[in-house]
Chains A and B, each alone.
Chain A
Amino acid sequence: MSTYVTEVRQLSGRRFRVLIAKLGLDGHDRGAKVIARALRDAGFEVVYLGVHQTPDDVVRAAVEEDVSVIGISILSGSHLELVQDVVKLLRERGLNIPVVVGGIIPPEDADVLRGLGVYEVCGPGTLLRDVVEIFKRAVTV
C-alpha cells in the first residue's frame, strides 16, 4: 500500500486527515479500528473517535480536527436516522466534508444513504484496498 502514501501526498503536498467514528450506541468496533489502521498505513492521518458518538460529537470533532473525510461505522441498524442527522448538521454549518459509511447496510439502504448525499457506502466484504481507494478519491472532492 506504500504507493498510496506517495500518491496521496502528491495530490496536495500534505498529509490528509480523516475522522473515523462509531455513531450511536453500537459497540462493534472491529471494522472501524481495522479501517483506521489501514488508512494510517496508507499515509492518512487518522483521528479515531471510538464508540458511542452522537451526530453532534462527530460533526464537532470533524470541525475541530479539520478533517477531509468523515468515516462512520454502524452495525446496529440505525444508519438511516443517524447518518441523516450527520448530513443535516454538516449542511447547517455549510460544510462540504465527504461522508463514507460502513457496516451492516442492506443494499437498498445504501442507495438511500447515497441519495442523502453520502459519498460512498462500504458493506461487509469490502477489501481494505478498496476502502483506501474510496478515501483517496474522497479527499480530492
Chain B
Amino acid sequence: MDERLVQRMVEWEREVVEQFLKKFPERKREFLTEEGVVVRRLYTPTDLESRGWDYVGSLGFPGSYPFTRGIYPTMYRGRPWTIRQYAGYGSAEDTNQRFKYLLSVGQTGLSMAFDLPTQLGLDPDNKLAWYEVGKVGVSMPSLLEMDIVFREIPMDRISTSMTINATAIEVLSMYVLVAESRGVPRSVLDGTIQNDILKEYIARKNYIYPPEPSMRYSTDAIIFCAKEMPRWNSISISGYHFEEAGATPAMEVAFTLADAVEYVRWVVERGKISVDVFAPRLSFFFASRTNLFEQVAKFRAARRMWAKIMRDRFNAKDLRSMMLRFHTQTAGVMLTAQQPEVNIIRTTIQALAAILGGTQSLHVNSYDEALSLPSEEAVKLSIRVQQVLLYESGVVDTVDPLGGSYYVEWLTDEVEERAWRIIDHIDRLGGMLRAIELGYPQSEIARAAYEYQVRVDRGEIPIIGVNMFAEPEVPKVKVLKVDPEVRRRVVDRLGKLRSDRDLLKVLNALDGVRKAAENLEVNIFPYVLEAIRCKATLGEVSNVLREVWGEWRAPETV
C-alpha cells in the first residue's frame, strides 16, 4: 500500500472535498450502477490494491491469457469488428433485397432473422402460423426459400449468422445444401447458428421440445460442425436475451457462462471429444446498454471468466478454447417510442461500449425499432454509427484504451465477483439445466425486471422523453409494414415443392430422422440434412421430432 497516497487522499477529502461540498453539494446521496454497485467519488490505485489486483494476473496482454484486454494482440488495428445488422422479414425476396441493400451501404457480414413459425417448426400453411408468417423475420419452410435469400450473394466470401435455435439443424442444412449446390463446400462456410436452447427456456421462449432432447439436438449440431464445418460457429451462447428480459449485468454474464458450462459438459460427454476439438468454435452474444463503463467492465469480466473456466474447469490446452469471441447488439429495451431520434444517441454510446469492451461483431439497433421493424433509412444510420466509430473516432487506434482506468478495472473486478457468486449458486443447484427446471434464473430475471420498472416509475431511473423531458405526443414515424401477400406467396411455393418431389424418398428420409431421434447413440444432424435434401419441409422434420420427443409446456409464473 502506498502510504503517501493514502495520506494525501485523507488530506484531500478533509481539506478540499469537505470545503467544496459545503458550497456545492453533490446531486445525489448515492450514485449507483445498474447492477446496484455504489460508485465512489474517485478511484485510485488503492482501490485496486485492496482487491488484490495486479497487472499481469488480472490483465496480462491482449491475445494472451486471461484475455481481459482482448482476444487478439492487435485488436481493431488489424481486424475491425464485423458490421452485422440483424435483418430479415417477409418473403425470401424481401430479405434478399434487404441483404443486398445492407451490403451496398457497407455492412460486412449478414445476420438472418427468421419468422416465429420457422423458429417454432411450423410451416406457413399451419393454422398456428397464419398471422405470423414473415413478421419478425423471413419465412423459411424449405431450401427453395434459402436459395432465393442468397441470390447474387457470394456464400463463399460472406459470413452469415442465423438466429435459429429449436430448428437450427433444419435451417443450417438448408444453408449448407444451397451453398453446395453452388459449388461451395461446407468446409469453407463461415458463419454462426445461435443454437442456444437453454436461454429459450429462461428468456426467449422459442423452444419446441423438452429440455433433455433439446440439449441432445443442440449438442449434435455442435459435434457435427466440429467435424465437418471447421469455420462455422456451432453455437452463440447468448446473454442478450437475459438482459432484454431484465437481467442485471452480473446476471447476464453468470447465466450465459453457466449455460456455456452446461453445453461443454454435454458435448464432452456425448461426443467423446476433447474440449479443444470444439471449444474454439463456441461463440457468445451479449447486449450493450447505455451505462458505458459498467458495460465495458461486463465484457472484460466475461472474457476473463471464460478463460479461467476453460483452463481450470475443463483443462483446455488450446488458447483458442479460452477466448471468448462475441457478437454484441445494442439493448433493444432501452429504445424509446417517444422522441425516437434520441435513440441514435443512445445506440451510439452503446456501440462505443461494445467496442471499448472488445466485441468481434456488432449490431446497432435502429432508432425506429420501439415502433416497428426498421426502415431502410434507419438501418443505414445504424451502419453509419458503426462506421463513424471505426473510421473517425480514433477509439480503435490502441488496444483496450480503458485498461488501467482505476474505475473500470475496479468495476471489472466487481462485476466478475458478483457473477462468480451467481455461478457458484448454480453449481450448488446442480448446473444450469437443473437450475432452469427449478426456475431459478427465470425468477431472478423477472424480479430484476420488475424492480427496474418500479424505479423507472418512481423516476429513480431517468429515461429522457419518458419520465424526464417528456413531450405530449408520440410522433408518427413512417413505419415498415410486412406485405400481407407474403404468406400467399410462401404457401404457393411450398405447394409447388410438395408436388414436385419424390414422396417416397421424403418419407424414407423422415423415417431416418425418426429412427435417429429414437436412438441416443447417433448424431441426428446427417439424418435431418438428408431429409431436407429430399425436400422435406422444416415443419415436417419438426413434426417427426415432436412425435418422438414430445412438446414442452413450461410452467408459467409471474
Contacts and interface: CB of A to CB of B under 8 A. Distances in A.
A125 B338 CA distance: 8
Given A25-B128, A77-B372, A123-B474, A30 B556 contact: no
Given A25-B129, A27-B206, A128-B454, A104 B245 contact: no
B337 interface: yes
Contacts, number: 105
B206 to A, nearest CB: 5
B337 A51 contact: no
B558 A33 contact: yes
A46 B474 contact: no
Interface string A98-136: 000000101110000000000000011101110000000
Contacts of A106: 371-372, 477, 479
Interface string B9-48: 0000000000000000000000000000000000000000
Given A29-B205, A81-B131, A37 B337 contact: no
Interface in A39-72: 40, 46, 48-52, 54
A38 B457 CA distance: 11
26 contacts: A20-B558, A25-B116, A25-B119, A25-B122, A25-B129, A26-B116, A27-B200, A29-B205, A30-B244, A30-B246, A33-B446, A34-B450, A37-B450, A51-B556, A76-B136, A77-B136, A78-B132, A81-B130, A82-B131, A104-B370, A104-B371, A106-B371, A123-B337, A124-B335, A124-B337, A125-B466
Nearest to B470: A125
A68 B420 CA distance: 45
The 5 A-B residue pairs whose C-beta atoms are closest, nearest first, are: A27-B205, A50-B556, A25-B116, A81-B131, A78-B131
Given A30-B333, A104-B372, A106-B371, A48 B116 contact: no
The binding surface of chain B is classed by DSSP as loop
B104 interface: no
Contacts of B446: 33-34, 37
B539 interface: no
Interface in B265-291: none
Contacts of A27: 200, 204-206
Contacts of A76: 116, 132, 135-136
Considering residues B128, B466, B558, which has the most beta carbons from chain A within 10 angstroms of its beta carbon? B558
A36 interface: yes
Interface of A: 20, 24-30, 33-34, 36-38, 40, 46, 48-52, 54, 76-78, 81-82, 104, 106-108, 123-125, 127-129
B429 interface: no
A40 B337 CA distance: 26
Contact of B245 (A26, A30, A51, A123): A30
Interface string B183-223: 00000000000000000100011100000000000000000
Contact of A124 (B204, B370, B454, B557): B370
B290 to A, nearest CB: 15
Interface residues of B, number: 48
A129 B200 CA distance: 30
B467 interface: yes
B344 interface: no
A46 B558 CA distance: 9
A82 B335 CA distance: 25
A24 B131 contact: yes
Interface in B232-247: 244-246
B305 interface: no
A108 B477 CA distance: 10
Given A25-B128, A33-B446, A77-B372, 19 more contacts: A26-B132, A33-B450, A33-B558, A34-B453, A37-B450, A76-B132, A76-B136, A78-B135, A81-B131, A104-B372, A106-B372, A106-B477, A107-B474, A123-B474, A125-B336, A125-B370, A125-B463, A127-B457, A128-B453
Interface in B288-339: 333, 335-338
Contact of A24 (B132, B336, B456, B477): B132
Given A76-B116, A77-B136, A30 B128 contact: no
B339 to A, nearest CB: 10
B120 interface: yes
Interface in B115-141: 116-117, 119-120, 122, 128-132, 135-136
Contact of A34 (B338, B370, B449, B465): B449
A128 B459 CA distance: 12
B479 A127 contact: no
A121 B225 CA distance: 46
A113 to B, nearest CB: 14
B402 interface: no
B146 interface: no
Contacts of B206: 27
Contacts of A33: 446, 449-450, 558
